[in-house]
Chains A and B, each alone.
Chain A
């Protein structure tokens, strides 16, 4: 197998192309005693040989060279080489045309020939990067903004209302309930990966307003992965990069619990706090079963933290997720939230959550009049639920349904 790099072709003014052809032919003659294939890297070239030179070159090829060529792979064919070779094929030899294989990118080439022995010069690689679309696996949800999603990839404020009055998205409640009832004892909760297709299936169901059957799709790990996916695909991450300076302070503060209660939570939106309440109450329950599910708070922190961050700088994001490291903070915060759930979220947010859902249920029966009792109605307007905890007068209806 031979490789020919068009990007290394010298400027026609500098080199005599006839001499170059002589050298090339000499090389080819030496090897063409047996069958061979030729890989032509057309991309990234600044000079192309003229058509007359190419035709002359072809006519000078010996019979051996022509007959023993098994295949000619043209990688990154742009208009010119494609046109040139095809026309030549038609004029000169139909057999030659049948040996031509157009290869659009290097990934495709890899499926055709053993590429490990091929050296790919940087110019070709650069060209390849421009050509090759990123794989679906590495690209992220941001580019699918044209699609109208209703549950996934949607702003928290839109899903829950700016004041959180629409309540937690159903997908969170469903997943949490399923995990609580079916699988708190399952080994590797949130760690073991289910089939990607099953998770996508469940996501599609939610986006279409249906409720997927987790049992049929593969069980508790699908619910876990779906929950993580929901957080990962939020357009605005739970902890935006603008909060990193605040977050970093946690490592210096004497009481992590107080820091999260007094400093961090008040700077987050109400929907974010409500979602965190649901999530960490679940994770707290998971850790309570760590003897069987083997998921300690540290393990959970490591699998969960990257899902809360999504700035333009992935390295910074993941760095922020370190646990107990100066200059990071998210890892520590997540771990503390999991371990000290009651101390952090216990009263204040639980109250907010209950009064909010109460407000929703009352508001809906009163046709949006908002004639709820004084205390409850004020809560959504409060800038920070932590700073102004409100005692809820009534037991919540939703608390009961998520506990089932």
Chain B
């Protein structure tokens, strides 16, 4: 409706190796690039139309390595929404959300809303992964655990996506931007 686009700043965060960068590449280019490459902090804009509102979303990639921790306050500043990721096949990445991000996010950007995302959802139907995890005495994080974690950390929702198949990637983006729109509408007006 309005011609002036709504600006949204989204930061993608989470444990090392959960696929933050591949998620963003899928979102930006629609392709899947399985690569072994360390990213630095990167940002790009994505325009979208959501329910008649024009949105200009700037998406910020982060590097989860401790070597780059000093930069995080600058990346998160005035973020509207944080897309907090864990990989469903990596229990460490789940623990990281509980132990670290829940504590740090309010300090990095207290205003930011959170969307919790379980990445690599294609592994749910991958027998090799299931077998590998079973041998280690582990299992995939079930969907219900994700929703429970979202509630626990006051995230606005839990979504699963797969950058490999592209399943659910758009939904995460929509959910994040919609969340910002609703929040602004309710509280800023």
Contact = CB atoms under 8 A, between A and B. Distances in A.
B68 interface: yes
Interface string B141-156: 0000000000000111
A294 B35 CA distance: 10
Nearest to B114: A116
Contact of B40 (A120, A225, A302): A302
Main secondary structure of the interface of A (DSSP, over half): helix
A307 interface: yes
Contact of B70 (A134, A135, A294, A317): A317
Given A228-B67, A315-B74, A303 B154 contact: no
B135 interface: no
B74 A302 contact: no
Interface string B1-39: 000000000000000110000000000000000001111
B154 A115 contact: yes
A157 B154 CA distance: 49
A377 B145 CA distance: 66
Interface in B28-54: 36-41
Contacts of A107: 103, 106-107
B103 A135 contact: yes
A135 B111 CA distance: 17
A208 interface: no
Given A116-B114, A193-B16, A318-B40, A110 B66 contact: no
A390 B41 CA distance: 43
A138 interface: yes
A304 interface: yes
A119 interface: yes
Contact of A318 (B64, B68, B110, B113): B68
A138 B69 CA distance: 7
Given A137-B69, A228-B66, A110 B38 contact: no
Size bracket of the A interface: 35 or more
Interface string A203-244: 000000000000000000000010011001000000000000
B154 A110 contact: yes
B133 interface: no
B5 to A, nearest CB: 23
B187 A306 contact: no
B124 interface: no
Interface residues of B, number: 34
B108 to A, nearest CB: 8
A106 B106 contact: yes
B138 interface: no
B70 A140 contact: yes
Nearest to B67: A306
Given A116-B113, A299-B37, A318-B41, A304 B67 contact: yes
B100 interface: yes
Contact of B66 (A119, A193, A304): A193
B72 interface: yes
A188 B154 CA distance: 33
Contacts of A140: 70
A134 to B, nearest CB: 7
A383 interface: no
Given A120-B111, A192-B17, A114 B70 contact: no
A120 B114 contact: no
Given A228-B67, A302-B38, 11 more contacts: A106-B106, A107-B106, A110-B106, A115-B154, A116-B156, A120-B110, A137-B103, A138-B73, A191-B38, A193-B64, A298-B37
Smallest CB-CB A-B distances: 4 pairs: A302-B38, A314-B70, A306-B67, A119-B187
